[in-house]
Homo-oligomer: A and B are copies of this chain.
Amino acid sequence: MTRRREGATSELTLIERARRTQLIEVTIELVADRGYAGASLAAIAERAGITKAAVLYHFPTKAAVVRAAHEHALAALVADVAAAVEAAAPANRPAAYVRSMVGHLREHPRHTRMIIEAMVHDDGEHDPAARWGPLAQLIDAARLARGASGDIDPRTTAIIVGGGIDAIVAEQLHDPDYDTATAAEHLVDMLETTISR
Protein backbone atom coordinates (compact mmCIF):
# COMPACT_ATOMS: atom_id res chain seq x y z
CA MET A 1 0.00 0.00 0.00
CA THR A 2 2.95 2.31 0.53
CA ARG A 3 0.92 4.20 3.06
CA ARG A 4 2.18 6.91 5.34
CA ARG A 5 1.21 6.53 8.91
CA GLU A 6 -1.21 8.98 10.40
CA GLY A 7 -0.42 11.26 13.32
CA ALA A 8 0.68 14.79 14.01
CA THR A 9 3.29 16.45 11.84
CA SER A 10 5.52 16.74 14.87
CA GLU A 11 5.89 12.96 14.97
CA LEU A 12 7.72 12.82 11.69
CA THR A 13 11.19 11.38 11.47
CA LEU A 14 14.15 13.65 10.94
CA ILE A 15 14.74 12.14 7.53
CA GLU A 16 11.07 12.44 6.75
CA ARG A 17 11.09 16.14 7.59
CA ALA A 18 14.28 16.75 5.66
CA ARG A 19 13.02 14.92 2.57
CA ARG A 20 9.70 16.68 2.55
CA THR A 21 11.43 20.03 2.87
CA GLN A 22 13.87 19.14 0.14
CA LEU A 23 11.16 17.89 -2.19
CA ILE A 24 9.14 21.05 -1.67
CA GLU A 25 12.19 23.15 -2.44
CA VAL A 26 13.17 21.33 -5.61
CA THR A 27 9.56 21.40 -6.78
CA ILE A 28 9.41 25.16 -6.34
CA GLU A 29 12.68 25.48 -8.22
CA LEU A 30 11.44 23.23 -10.98
CA VAL A 31 8.15 25.04 -11.41
CA ALA A 32 9.99 28.36 -11.39
CA ASP A 33 12.47 27.17 -14.02
CA ARG A 34 10.30 25.13 -16.34
CA GLY A 35 6.68 25.77 -15.39
CA TYR A 36 4.05 23.36 -14.18
CA ALA A 37 4.44 21.12 -17.20
CA GLY A 38 8.16 20.76 -16.54
CA ALA A 39 7.66 19.64 -12.98
CA SER A 40 7.18 15.95 -13.69
CA LEU A 41 7.60 13.27 -11.08
CA ALA A 42 10.76 12.07 -12.77
CA ALA A 43 12.19 15.59 -12.89
CA ILE A 44 11.45 16.19 -9.21
CA ALA A 45 13.02 12.85 -8.26
CA GLU A 46 16.10 13.44 -10.37
CA ARG A 47 16.75 16.91 -8.98
CA ALA A 48 16.33 15.56 -5.47
CA GLY A 49 18.73 12.71 -6.22
CA ILE A 50 16.25 9.91 -5.53
CA THR A 51 13.83 7.81 -7.55
CA LYS A 52 10.22 8.49 -8.40
CA ALA A 53 9.11 5.78 -6.01
CA ALA A 54 10.97 7.47 -3.18
CA VAL A 55 9.13 10.70 -3.88
CA LEU A 56 5.83 8.84 -3.75
CA TYR A 57 6.95 7.27 -0.50
CA HIS A 58 6.94 10.70 1.14
CA PHE A 59 3.90 12.08 -0.70
CA PRO A 60 0.81 10.13 -1.77
CA THR A 61 0.69 11.63 -5.29
CA LYS A 62 2.55 14.07 -7.44
CA ALA A 63 -0.32 16.52 -7.04
CA ALA A 64 0.30 16.43 -3.29
CA VAL A 65 3.93 17.43 -3.81
CA VAL A 66 2.97 20.36 -5.97
CA ARG A 67 0.22 21.35 -3.58
CA ALA A 68 2.63 21.29 -0.64
CA ALA A 69 5.11 23.40 -2.59
CA HIS A 70 2.43 25.90 -3.45
CA GLU A 71 1.16 26.09 0.11
CA HIS A 72 4.69 26.56 1.37
CA ALA A 73 5.33 29.50 -0.94
CA LEU A 74 1.93 31.01 -0.24
CA ALA A 75 2.22 30.66 3.53
CA ALA A 76 5.54 32.50 3.53
CA LEU A 77 4.02 35.32 1.52
CA VAL A 78 0.94 35.62 3.69
CA ALA A 79 2.94 35.57 6.90
CA ASP A 80 5.27 38.27 5.64
CA VAL A 81 2.51 40.55 4.40
CA ALA A 82 0.32 39.99 7.45
CA ALA A 83 3.16 40.98 9.76
CA ALA A 84 3.86 44.16 7.81
CA VAL A 85 0.20 45.10 7.66
CA GLU A 86 -0.42 44.54 11.34
CA ALA A 87 2.58 46.68 12.22
CA ALA A 88 1.04 49.66 10.46
CA ALA A 89 -1.75 51.98 11.55
CA PRO A 90 -5.08 51.23 9.85
CA ALA A 91 -4.83 54.29 7.65
CA ASN A 92 -1.48 53.13 6.31
CA ARG A 93 -2.24 49.48 5.90
CA PRO A 94 -3.11 49.46 2.21
CA ALA A 95 0.27 51.03 1.48
CA ALA A 96 1.99 48.55 3.78
CA TYR A 97 0.24 45.75 1.94
CA VAL A 98 1.51 46.91 -1.43
CA ARG A 99 5.06 47.51 -0.23
CA SER A 100 5.43 44.24 1.62
CA MET A 101 3.83 42.26 -1.19
CA VAL A 102 6.18 43.65 -3.80
CA GLY A 103 9.10 43.37 -1.41
CA HIS A 104 8.48 39.76 -0.54
CA LEU A 105 8.02 38.70 -4.13
CA ARG A 106 11.16 40.56 -5.14
CA GLU A 107 13.15 38.66 -2.54
CA HIS A 108 11.64 35.31 -3.44
CA PRO A 109 11.39 35.19 -7.21
CA ARG A 110 11.05 31.41 -7.27
CA HIS A 111 8.15 31.48 -4.88
CA THR A 112 6.67 34.13 -7.12
CA ARG A 113 6.63 31.96 -10.22
CA MET A 114 5.28 29.07 -8.22
CA ILE A 115 2.39 31.19 -6.99
CA ILE A 116 1.67 32.64 -10.41
CA GLU A 117 1.65 29.23 -12.05
CA ALA A 118 -0.69 27.94 -9.39
CA MET A 119 -3.05 30.87 -9.85
CA VAL A 120 -3.32 30.46 -13.58
CA HIS A 121 -3.56 26.68 -13.42
CA ASP A 122 -5.89 26.30 -10.50
CA ASP A 123 -8.15 24.01 -12.51
CA GLY A 124 -10.58 23.39 -9.75
CA GLU A 125 -12.32 25.45 -7.20
CA HIS A 126 -10.36 28.34 -5.76
CA ASP A 127 -12.05 31.43 -4.52
CA PRO A 128 -10.72 34.44 -6.45
CA ALA A 129 -12.00 36.70 -3.70
CA ALA A 130 -9.29 35.27 -1.45
CA ARG A 131 -6.82 37.26 -3.51
CA TRP A 132 -8.27 40.76 -3.40
CA GLY A 133 -10.62 40.34 -0.44
CA PRO A 134 -8.11 41.19 2.29
CA LEU A 135 -6.85 44.24 0.45
CA ALA A 136 -10.40 45.42 -0.12
CA GLN A 137 -11.00 45.23 3.62
CA LEU A 138 -7.83 47.17 4.36
CA ILE A 139 -8.93 49.84 1.91
CA ASP A 140 -12.35 50.04 3.52
CA ALA A 141 -10.84 50.37 6.98
CA ALA A 142 -8.34 52.96 5.85
CA ARG A 143 -11.06 55.08 4.27
CA LEU A 144 -13.04 54.86 7.47
CA ALA A 145 -10.00 55.90 9.52
CA ARG A 146 -9.47 58.87 7.25
CA GLY A 147 -13.06 59.87 6.90
CA ALA A 148 -12.92 59.66 3.10
CA SER A 149 -16.32 59.91 1.48
CA GLY A 150 -15.92 59.47 -2.29
CA ASP A 151 -17.87 56.70 -3.92
CA ILE A 152 -15.13 54.31 -4.84
CA ASP A 153 -15.60 50.55 -4.97
CA PRO A 154 -13.08 48.87 -2.64
CA ARG A 155 -13.41 45.61 -4.52
CA THR A 156 -12.49 47.10 -7.86
CA THR A 157 -9.73 49.20 -6.35
CA ALA A 158 -8.30 46.09 -4.72
CA ILE A 159 -8.52 44.14 -7.97
CA ILE A 160 -6.73 46.87 -9.90
CA VAL A 161 -4.01 47.34 -7.31
CA GLY A 162 -3.56 43.58 -7.02
CA GLY A 163 -3.10 43.39 -10.76
CA GLY A 164 -0.60 46.22 -10.59
CA ILE A 165 1.40 44.33 -7.99
CA ASP A 166 1.43 41.23 -10.15
CA ALA A 167 2.55 43.21 -13.16
CA ILE A 168 5.39 44.89 -11.29
CA VAL A 169 6.61 41.57 -9.98
CA ALA A 170 6.25 39.91 -13.38
CA GLU A 171 8.27 42.69 -14.95
CA GLN A 172 11.06 42.10 -12.49
CA LEU A 173 11.05 38.44 -13.42
CA HIS A 174 11.94 39.42 -16.98
CA ASP A 175 14.18 42.35 -16.11
CA PRO A 176 16.00 41.74 -12.82
CA ASP A 177 17.25 45.33 -12.88
CA TYR A 178 13.76 46.77 -12.79
CA ASP A 179 13.36 48.97 -9.73
CA THR A 180 10.35 47.39 -8.07
CA ALA A 181 10.69 49.48 -4.93
CA THR A 182 10.18 52.69 -6.88
CA ALA A 183 7.42 51.08 -8.87
CA ALA A 184 5.73 50.05 -5.63
CA GLU A 185 5.89 53.66 -4.42
CA HIS A 186 4.35 54.73 -7.69
CA LEU A 187 1.54 52.26 -7.17
CA VAL A 188 1.13 53.38 -3.56
CA ASP A 189 0.77 56.96 -4.79
CA MET A 190 -2.00 56.00 -7.16
CA LEU A 191 -3.71 54.00 -4.46
CA GLU A 192 -3.42 56.75 -1.84
CA THR A 193 -4.86 59.33 -4.21
CA THR A 194 -7.77 57.05 -4.98
CA ILE A 195 -8.73 56.07 -1.47
CA SER A 196 -8.28 59.52 0.03
CA ARG A 197 -10.96 61.08 -2.08
Report the Cα distance A175→B155, complex, angstroms. 13
A186 and B167 contacting across the interface, CB-CB below 8 Å: no
Residues of B contacting A171 with CB < 8 Å? 128, 132, 159
Contact pick for A163, options B116, B123, B153, B167, CB 8 Å? B167
Residues of B contacting A152 with CB < 8 Å? 186
CB distance from A23 to the nearest CB of B (A): 22
Cβ proximity bits A82-119 to B, threshold 8 Å, 1 near / 0 not: 00000000000000000000000000000000001100
With contact pairs A34-B123, A186-B152 given, residues A167 and B174 touching in the complex (Cβ less than 8 Å): no
Interface size of A in residues (CB-CB distance below 8 Å): 37
Report the Cα distance A197→B95, complex, angstroms. 20
Determine if A48 is an interface residue (Cβ-Cβ < 8 Å).
Answer: no
Contact pick for A190, options B123, B132, B194, CB 8 Å? B194
Report the Cα distance A186→B161, complex, angstroms. 11
Residues of B contacting A123 with CB < 8 Å? 34-35
Nearest residue, chain B, Cβ from A123: B35
CB distance from A120 to the nearest CB of B (A): 5
CB distance from A84 to the nearest CB of B (A): 20
Determine if A42 is an interface residue (Cβ-Cβ < 8 Å).
Answer: no
